[in-house]
Every structure is written in structure tokens, then in C-alpha cells.
Chains A and B, each alone.
Chain A
Amino acid sequence: EVQLVESGGGLVQPGRSLKFSCAASGFTFSNYYMAWVRQAPKKGLEWVATISTSGSRSYYPDSVKGRFTISRDNAKSSLYLQMNSLKSEDTATYSCARHGIYGWYFDFWGPGTMVTVSS
């Protein structure tokens, strides 16, 4: 059974940094592109980052480019998101998601970890 479990969210002040992780199991982690997707309270979904199978390529929307860094450790089946220069609008639940084989959609999601950016 595919499982994705995030950890490491919390309350952080504006301008500070936070890094959290996702533990994957139930599939061959190194064969899949992986992503982070966020959902702000009472709002819709926003794709935040994607990383290639080897970790050599990463992709971001302009809203987080230069502030967020996605990384992975295939030996540990783990995905990470480093967030710098946090803003109040980054407050959201961040979910780890597995990319589908046939395209840039997400076929499994974790339950998410909540990040609150507030002073």
C-alpha cells in the first residue's frame, strides 16, 4: 500500500525558515517524480514544487521560486521541502504527492502537515 507521511510543520515567524519531510513507503520511491502541493485554509490547491527521480532537476512556480527548495534521498525514500523567507501567504497545509507515470498529475497524496506563518 502506498503511504506518504509528512512531518515537521509548525508555527514560524515571517522571514524565517522551515524544513519538513515526507516518508514514502509501499512503492519504489526512486522510480517516481515527487511533488509538494499546498492548500491554504478554506482555499484551493496550489502546486509548489516537483523533483525528478534522481533529484537532478526541480521545478517551481514563480510564487515560491528562489525561496523554496525541494530535495530527496532515494536511499531513505524521503522527500524534503526547505522553505526560506516565509510569508504569511505561505500559511497552508503542505502535502507530499507522487506524480503519475503518464503525466504531471498526482496519483497519491499524503495527509499533509500544517505550516502557520505568523508573528
Chain B
Amino acid sequence: DTVLTQSPALAVSPGERVTISCRASESVSTGMHWYQQKPGQQPKLLIYGASSLQSGVPARFSGSGSGTDFTLTIDPVEADDTATYFCQQSWNDPYTFGAGTKLELK
């Protein structure tokens, strides 16, 4: 299975720029997607196809990468962005998720 590796946690101050990384154990082309999950809520799609912004998601969120290395960027970070961010690949079967990066605001 394709393993997606994410940093466990990040802490940033409001107004800063943050990049959340996701590294795949094998190429997933641009079949990478990003979700935001707040405590007690279901995941919310932010980015699909590595860099396409989902409708309704603020332009502060952006995605980049291809192959094995991907990033989700939030610029600027706001207090409401406190959440866990998951990456998911859809290039290789089975479709797998990263363990998530917990973003905390200072």
C-alpha cells in the first residue's frame, strides 16, 4: 500500500504562512487531496488533484506538488484554521490517507 507520511504537529501564529507536507512512499502523480478536520466534525475537502481549490474554500489555502512530495499552504493562517489536516492519495489502490498533521495556533 502507498504510505503517506505527514509531520504530526505544527504550531504557528495567526497571520503567518504555514506549509504542511505529505510524502508518498511511491509516485501518486497528482492524485493527492487535502482535508481539514476539526474536533467532533467530519473531514472537509480543501484541495483535490494536488492543486485545485474546492468550491467555497478560502483562497488562503493552496496545494502543490506531484509524484511523491506535496504541500498544503495556508497563508495567512487564521485562528479558525486550528484543526488536523489529512492528505489522501487516489493514484494507487488501495486509496490511503496520511495520519494527519495537527495545526495549533500560538
A residues bordering B, Cβ < 8 Å?
44-47, 59, 61-63, 95, 100, 102-112
Report whether A103 and B94 are in contact in the complex, using a CB–CB cutoff of 8 Å: no
Contact mask for chain B residues 71-106; partner A; CB cutoff 8 A; 1 contact, 0 none: 000000000000000101010011111111000000
Q: Which residues of B contact A47 (CB under 8 A)?
A: 88, 94-97
A50 to B6, CA, bound (A): 25
5 residue pairs from A and B, CB less than 8 Å apart: A45-B43, A59-B93, A62-B94, A104-B90, A106-B43
Report whether A45 and B88 are in contact in the complex, using a CB–CB cutoff of 8 Å: yes
Report whether B90 and A109 are in contact in the complex, using a CB–CB cutoff of 8 Å: no
Report whether B98 and A44 are in contact in the complex, using a CB–CB cutoff of 8 Å: yes
Shortest B50–chain A CB gap in Å is 10
Report whether B94 and A111 are in contact in the complex, using a CB–CB cutoff of 8 Å: no
Report whether A105 and B100 are in contact in the complex, using a CB–CB cutoff of 8 Å: no
A46-B97, A47-B94, A47-B97 are contacts. A104–B31 as well, Cβ < 8 Å?
Answer: yes
A44-B86, A45-B86, A95-B42 are contacts. A105–B48 as well, Cβ < 8 Å?
Answer: yes
Most chain B beta-carbon contacts within 10 A, residue among A63, A106, A111: A106
Q: Which residues of A contact B31 (CB under 8 A)?
A: 103-104
Residue of A nearest to B30 (CB): A103
Report whether B49 and A103 are in contact in the complex, using a CB–CB cutoff of 8 Å: yes
A107 to B31, CA, bound (A): 14
Report whether B48 and A107 are in contact in the complex, using a CB–CB cutoff of 8 Å: yes
Q: Which residues of B contact A45 (CB under 8 A)?
A: 43, 86, 88, 97
